[in-house]
Structure 1
Amino acid sequence: MKHFSDYLYVQSIAKSSMKELGTFIKEGITEREIVMKAEDILRQKGVERFWYYNIGAFVHVGTRTNISESGRDYRPSEQKVGKNDIVTVDLSPEINAFWGDYARTFIVIEGSAVDEIQLQCQHNSFADEFGHGLHTEKQLRRLFKAYVEPEKTFEEVYLHMNRAIQQLGYVNLDFAGNLGHTIEFHKEERSYFERGNTRKIGEAAFFTFEPHIKHANGAYGFKREDIYYFRNGELKVL
């Protein structure tokens, strides 16, 4: 596939940077500090540009994880990570015009970021709610992979996955209602998983799936984003 190695390289930087960022996130750190640290990590790995309105890390803390906004309007806040809290991070590195796009949700319990195995060992209301949200994001990813085919349209996937979100008791928080987009060389050229987009998914070389959700009765938002592509008709994660 043309440019596959270029996209794989920049996405690998996003993934390793996210992992490194997890050791920095803890109680008392502000949203702005997380943005600055994330962008510093990306630059240390060779990233010189950020394709999403020059934002390297789109970060929200606590109940601000419910906020869905365009990068045109985003300004990181001084809100601090709490003792039991949640942080969403969306990275947008660019190298030689090739994009990475990768988002994850960090869970902070008793002041420190924990992985999913550690979270399962916790027994409090925060851990239960946070764990359920992470589980739902993974479940949506499985449903997405089971449904998506090259001949499906972006609209068909949008409708199917939004029904799945509702059936799981969650709400799509995206300000535009979409669930992902194609990877392009110019952000204005992106196609979205949205109503009315009858383009076939197989026509796109790379695309994201990035549901931004919250439980219908919950207080926090969750994000998980990866880049996908088809190889011999089979859906793969970059």
Structure 2
Amino acid sequence: MTDEAEVQQIAQQAMELTRASLRPGQTLADVRASCEARLLDLGADAFWYWGIGAFVFAGTGTIASVSGRDYRTPDHVLREDELVTLDLSPQRGDVWGDFARTLVIEGGVPLEDPAATSNEEWRSGILAERQLHAELREVAVPDMTFEELARRMNERVVALDYENLDFLGNLGHSIAWASGDRVYIEPGNRARLDSVGSFTFEPHIRRPGGSYGYKHEDIYRFVDGRLSPL
């Protein structure tokens, strides 16, 4: 039986293969098509979010936050120096993966570690995402509510001098059997974190008024009372 960790591994492997293949001159449609083909080759049999396996944005388009229902691959050609966000939604059977990263092309080369970029603005955004995930693992406990987690982590976003770009204002969601069954890390959701088997954390942030957005998404579950990424 397939479990979430297996499907998440498909997403992680497809992300790395796609990162390594990024080149100036590629269109975002090319990037999406090649990434979705990799997801299927690695074992996905569907894409759970509106039938889209790879949401791709680049440059100033990285601040866009849209529903899958409205998403159209942007008409954009990758440049020598580029910020790219890639959000993957593979499915195998009834099991989902959900994985996003911000990637960097510098001098025509895709960086293995995007935080190694010489662009200070981009590096700061990427490191802020990593800090938010580290703080999530410190503050989240099984009996905390989704509402409380949303409050705590949105406060941390602001304290780092960023803003939440999500079009619904949330920071993640439970992993469910159907998209409509998800519950969100958002104000008003008083369910406990341990009321679901696993959930995503995916802050989409930018500097207030800034031109670039950053995203970093993992699936988490509690193991012996501690939050652990898949």
TM-score (norm 2): 0.97
Inter-CA distance 117–183: structure 2 relative to 1 (3 Å threshold): closer
The answer as to 2:167 corresponding to 1:170 is no
Shift of 1:215: 1.4
Shift of 1:80: 1.0
Q: Hey, which bits of structure 1, 4+ residues long, moved more than 4 A?
A: none
- Name 1:143's counterpart in structure 2: 135
Query: Do residues 50 (structure 1) and 47 (structure 2) align?
Result: yes
Distance 1:26 1:75, change over 3 A: same
Q: Indicate whether 1:201 and 2:198 are aligned.
A: no
Aligned to 2:72: 75
Aligned match of 1:119: 116
CA distance in 1, matches of 2:208, 2:143: 32
Is 1:133 the counterpart of 2:130 in the alignment? no
The CA deviation at 1:209 is 0.2
Structure 1 residue aligned with 2:219: 227
104 and 219 in structure 1: CA distance in 2 versus 1, 3 angstrom threshold:
same
CA positional deviation for 1:116: 2.5
Give the gaps of 5 or more residues in structure 2: none
1:193, distance to aligned residue in structure 2 (A): 0.3
Q: 1:27 aligns with which of 24, 29, 52?
A: 24
Please tell me whether the aligned partners of residues 116 and 131 of structure 1 are also in contact (alpha carbons under 8 angstroms): no
* Amino acid in structure 2 at the alignment position of 1:193: I
Question: How far apart are the structure 2 equivalents of 1:133 and 1:65?
Answer: 12
What's the offset of the Cα at 1:129? 1.0
Counterpart Cα distance in 2 of 1:213 and 1:80: 23
Q: Secondary structure at the match of 2:156?
A: helix
Report the counterpart of residue 236 of structure 1 in structure 2. Answer: 228
State the shift of 1:32 in Å: 1.0
Task: Calculate the aligned-residue CA RMSD, in Å.
Answer: 1.3
Unaligned 5+ runs, structure 1 = none
**CA separation in 2, counterparts of 1:77 and 1:193?**
28
Give the C-alpha shift of residue 117 in structure 1: 7.2
Match for residue 84 of structure 2? 87
Q: Secondary structure of 2:56's partner?
A: strand
Structure 1 position 218, deviation (Å):
2.6
What is the aligned counterpart of 1:161 among 149, 153, 167? 153
Determine which of 60, 64, 68 is the counterpart of 1:63: 60
Q: Secondary structure at the match of 2:126?
A: helix
The offset of 1:84, in angstroms, is 1.4
Residue 103 of structure 1: SS of its match in structure 2? strand
Distance 2:77 2:148 in 1: 40
